[in-house]
Structure 1
Amino acid sequence: MGLCHGTLTAIPSGPVLDHRTLQNGSTLVTAAIPDAALTCLDFWCRGGSAWERSGEEGIAHFLEHMVFKGSRRLGPGEFDRRIEALGGSSNAATGFDDVHYHVLVPSAESKEAVDLLLDLVLDPALEQDCFSMERDVVLEEIAQYRDQPDDQVLQTLLELCCAPHCYGRPILGWETSLRKMNPGGMRNYHHRRYQGANCCLSVAGTIEDGLVSHVLNSPLAALNKLTDEDLKGTTKPSLSFRCRRDSRTFPRLEAARLMMVWPVASADDQLAIAGADLATTILAEGRRSRLVQKLREELQIVESIDMDVTTLEQGSLVMLEACCPEDQIEQVEREIHQQLENSLNTAITDEEFHRAMQLVGNGHRFSLEAPGAVAASAGSQTLWGRHRDLLAPLQDLMHWNASSLRERVIPLLQPQRSFTLIARSEDNA
């Protein structure tokens, strides 16, 4: 027996967020989870690859590597050793829009972990010897990425549909730019981006007594406030996008790919993102979704087909990927077009809508079960000025119904609005 609509859309309680803006514009957000044995400290910065200037392509990701090579007070490897000695772990990730560094430690050790994390991130040594060695590591990472056919299909797709916008460039950067970089240029980038309102510290888990005041008197509060000149570079152009069709071959590609991409609302339009999540779930998530049911279960012409939303600050992307035998690619494209066009005039049933609400809603609920996920969600949203409750996305879902999805979202996901890439194996060309 299926769950009723009321059960699917019930809004449970979640950790309460406490936001603080420091005098220099940097922010602190805390989410108390009293029963958690661990505390996650997650430092976020508006310092992803989208902020790179000409000649800096790849510096954001390279800097992430260099940060872990030590600060002026922490030698190479010392940060990792001391975090591990506290019983914790650390990691980092660079995206298009932002970069974040996080540690997960026993709650009693959170003050010391704050000191270690902020020292490492805000005062990196960027020494020449480590710089040269780590550049080789990044160049090898690019070589490995280039050797992965699936990764190359995705990067080619983004370049074709988004370039010259920054989302069309690889986050790892370009070899020519990386080879010309030096520690001085990286210090300039760090100083430009890792300041004031560009930075946010998110804390989730058990909040030890005195931890908040400790952060408020930490190097986070000593960062420079962004000047009017700095703020001139904080506004980025909206996503540029091409709607057309292309076909390329790739070495060692095991199965043909049909890739379709659509531009949708930027991350600050949370209601629109919720609608896109629901629509893509109805179309291509799970065996009961329309495209999976038709192309994989009924016609059996695809090995896999899925569709999801990548939320980005300058314009989000809906991406569909279908893998199939090469001799089926034309039929696959025809059937996808037909199903998308049919969706314009086919009502979304109560069963389809309730299923999408359940999958999207539960996906969000389950993502907030651990301090690390809570800190990441709170930090990302706070960094971009969205001081929202953790469960606000569930309220966003409630603004949609079957009719509004069909009338307002499905028309955006039609073939003529997409960029389509047909990817075939070079070996079969």
Structure 2
Amino acid sequence: MLKRSLAFLFLSLFFFSPLEAKVKIITEKDLSDIAVIDVWVRAGSRNESAEINGISHFLEHLIFKGSKKYKTGEMDKLIEECGGIVNAATSKDFTHFYVTVPKEYFYRAADIMSDSITNPLFPEEEIEKERKVVLEEILRSQSQPDNELYDLIYAKCFRLHPYHYSVLGTVPSLLNIKKADITNYKKKFYVDSNMTVLAAGNLPNDAAGYLSKAFSGLPGGKRTENLEAETLFQNSLLEKKKKVNKTYLAVAFSSPSAQSPDSYTMDVISMIMGSGRNSRLNKELKENKQLVWSIGFSYPTPIDQNLVLISAVCDAKKVEKATEAIFTELRKLATQPVKPAELEKAKTIIEVDYKVTHSNPQSLASNLGYFATVINAEYEKNYLENIKKVTADDILRVTKQYFSYYTIGRIIGEN
């Protein structure tokens, strides 16, 4: 796998094109059999209001439901006919749309993606169909304890910042969204300076120029600004009982934004604490003390200052001990320097993951698009170099700075 990764990096061509559109075009070429086009928009639920909460995700559902050039259902049919796959995703920070096709169908995919995103029609009948689909998603999400806990914590930690909005929205907000809201939202955020178009794989020589021309119909506009952080934590506890078999625990802390140099240190901390069977949290809480059935550490590298989440699933009788054990491990991290061998191991795993990502056109396009959206493309290009600079002293400092205040959330299972 490593040899394949290095070969891919040697053959790749990182290219920015301002030829036609002002939208940033990034291409990465290799010798695989596929072509990937991934379109990123710097707009998610952080760009919404209470009245239209969920509109970013709702719009994602509607983009491929008919455009000026393609009828409803025609785009999916044309992609499926050539053996391709089209999909999309929405988060608090972004929305992105991606298609993977055999290399010879690059131009077809580019035409479909550009017209769908530049000229969607949003037919009323499709709006109502997808409204029902999304309402079902909301109800399913609300029935899942881990999702409920996630939303409770974000609502508690972010009073003013729009990170407190759910990506899916609420039933009342989704019912409130009209076609005019969708059209206005798209006009505001789906603009050249707020978007990035990625292509990766076995691309034709004119891929960058073709995409630039294809997306030249995007209107001009501004890139969404970063928002100031707010005071997030007061060492609080949220607890709710629910008729489920398991207990869901999450401890939230403040995290650095992608713009902060501390983001690299937090990535190393994430690897040490919660990535894999040999991570500290898994080894101590799951294997040694058998306090939890599963545990993880999440740091999303966000646009604005966000949350680090340590999440676990356990028996209700063990939740207190599991909570205390999490803080015990964090105290160790804040007071005892990480040994050189453990630090180098974490960096090596990050480097291998990075190279594996770069060996696959789909994950490469996604990775490049993510960082071009939340911060800039240079972040991704210089990522490994900055990871290598992280020291044991950096880990002590960042742990003390970001893990001093917390919010604990629990969904206590009742049989």
Is the shorter-chain TM-score for this pair beyond 0.5, marking a shared fold? yes
Secondary structure in 2 aligned to 1:170? Answer: coil
Q: How far apart, CA to CA, are the structure 1 residues paired with 2:20 and 2:102?
A: 30
Counterpart of 1:340 (choices 319, 330, 338) is 330
Report the counterpart of residue 325 of structure 1 in structure 2: 315
Gaps of 5+ in 1: 1-9
In the alignment, structure 1 residue 86 sits paired with structure 2 residue 82: yes
After superposing the two structures, state which structure 1 stretch, 294-303 or 179-188, moved more: 294-303
Report the counterpart of residue 6 of structure 1 in structure 2: none
Q: How does 1:17-416 map to 2 (within 5 A)?
A: 17-21=14-18, 25-33=22-30, 35-218=31-214, 220-226=215-221, 234-238=225-229, 240-269=231-260, 271-384=261-374, 386-388=376-378, 390-406=380-396, 408-414=397-403, 416=404
In the alignment, structure 1 residue 421 sits paired with structure 2 residue 409: yes
Q: Paired residues, what number?
A: 409
Q: How far apart, CA to CA, are the structure 2 residues paired with 1:301 and 1:331?
A: 7
After superposing the two structures, state which structure 1 stretch, 349-358 or 120-129, moved more: 349-358
Deviations 1:15-74 (A, max 9, x none): 3421124676311111111x1111101111122121123421111111111112111321
Residue 384 of structure 1: how far off its partner (Å): 4.6
Q: How far apart, CA to CA, are the structure 1 residues paired with 2:213 and 2:324?
A: 61
Q: How far apart, CA to CA, are the structure 2 residues paired with 1:224 and 1:44?
A: 15
The answer (yes or no) to whether the contact 2:79–2:85 under 8 Å persists in 1 is: yes
Secondary structure in 1 aligned to 2:249? Answer: strand
- What TM-score do you get using the length of structure 2 for normalisation? 0.91
After superposing the two structures, state which structure 1 stretch, 105-114 or 209-218, moved more: 209-218
Q: Do the aligned partners of residues 165 and 188 (structure 1) sit closer, same or farther apart at CA in structure 2, a change above 3 Å counting?
A: same
Report the counterpart of residue 7 of structure 1 in structure 2: none
The answer (yes or no) to whether the contact 2:293–2:312 under 8 Å persists in 1 is: yes
The answer (yes or no) to whether the contact 2:232–2:254 under 8 Å persists in 1 is: yes
Deviations 1:82-128 (A, max 9, x none): 11122211100011111111111122211121111111111111111
Secondary structure in 2 aligned to 1:93? Answer: strand
Secondary structure in 1 aligned to 2:186? Answer: helix
Gaps of 5+ in 2: 1-5
The answer (yes or no) to whether the contact 1:305–1:321 under 8 Å persists in 2 is: yes
Residue 248 of structure 1: how far off its partner (Å): 1.8
Q: Give the superposed CA RMSD.
A: 2.3
The answer (yes or no) to whether the contact 1:277–1:308 under 8 Å persists in 2 is: no
Secondary structure in 1 aligned to 2:302? Answer: coil
After superposing the two structures, state which structure 1 stretch, 277-286 or 393-402, moved more: 277-286
The answer (yes or no) to whether the contact 1:29–1:382 under 8 Å persists in 2 is: no
Deviations 1:162-217 (A, max 9, x none): 23322111101122121122212211111111112012111111220332222232
Q: How far apart, CA to CA, are the structure 2 residues paired with 1:12 and 1:107?
A: 16
Secondary structure in 1 aligned to 2:122? Answer: coil
Q: How far apart, CA to CA, are the structure 2 residues paired with 1:187 and 1:355?
A: 49
- What TM-score do you get using the length of structure 1 for normalisation? 0.89
Q: Do the aligned partners of residues 36 and 115 (structure 1) sit closer, same or farther apart at CA in structure 2, a change above 3 Å counting?
A: same
Deviations 1:393-420 (A, max 9, x none): 21111111223322x2221353x42211
Percentage identity across aligned positions? 24
The answer (yes or no) to whether the contact 1:165–1:240 under 8 Å persists in 2 is: no
Q: How far apart, CA to CA, are the structure 2 residues paired with 1:149 and 1:237?
A: 30
Q: How far apart, CA to CA, are the structure 2 residues paired with 1:288 and 1:373?
A: 25
After superposing the two structures, state which structure 1 stretch, 18-27 or 52-61, moved more: 18-27
Give the aligned residue type for 1:121.
I
Q: Do the aligned partners of residues 288 and 390 (structure 1) sit closer, same or farther apart at CA in structure 2, a change above 3 Å counting?
A: same
Q: How far apart, CA to CA, are the structure 2 residues paired with 1:361 and 1:173?
A: 36
Q: How far apart, CA to CA, are the structure 2 residues paired with 1:317 and 1:403?
A: 22
Give the aligned residue type for 2:216.
A
Q: How far apart, CA to CA, are the structure 2 residues paired with 1:173 and 1:312?
A: 19
Q: Do the aligned partners of residues 78 and 395 (structure 1) sit closer, same or farther apart at CA in structure 2, a change above 3 Å counting?
A: same
Q: How far apart, CA to CA, are the structure 2 residues paired with 1:245 and 1:384?
A: 29
Q: Do the aligned partners of residues 185 and 290 (structure 1) sit closer, same or farther apart at CA in structure 2, a change above 3 Å counting?
A: closer
Give the aligned residue type for 2:217.
A
Residue 285 of structure 1: how far off its partner (Å): 2.9
